[in-house]
Structure 1
Amino acid sequence: MNNQTPISETARWGLNALHRAVRKEVEKKSKLGQYVIISRQGKTVRILAADALREADNAQHSAR
């Protein structure tokens, strides 16, 4: 069940641009062996950027 409010095309474009920008920065950090700070179940955690990319890719594939 989808309870999300529809967003405008402009908002969708902006959100996609933001996602691409964050992905690009996390990919840079991954190549440098750096960490990223994320939120998991309401807690702030530090994980390797490469692990964050793997998790994001797995979540994206699971959502399809």
Structure 2
Amino acid sequence: MLPALSTEGMIALNIFEGSVTKERFFQFIDEQIAPQLTPYPGPQSVVILDNCTIHHDEELQ
């Protein structure tokens, strides 16, 4: 499961069988998170990720 939360509540959710792969995570960011982002310093302009290994990928950063 890949959830995305904001101060308003859940803004995106992807439920699937199996592991989170780089491709699946990138697709989630590209298709569900990025379209909701606004320019900084607007609302929903900052994405905070935990210390999961996939979050350190150079391509994602």
TM-score by length of 1: 0.28
Q: Give the number of the structure whose alpha-carbon radius of gyration is greater.
A: 1
Structure (1 or 2) with the greater helix fraction: 1
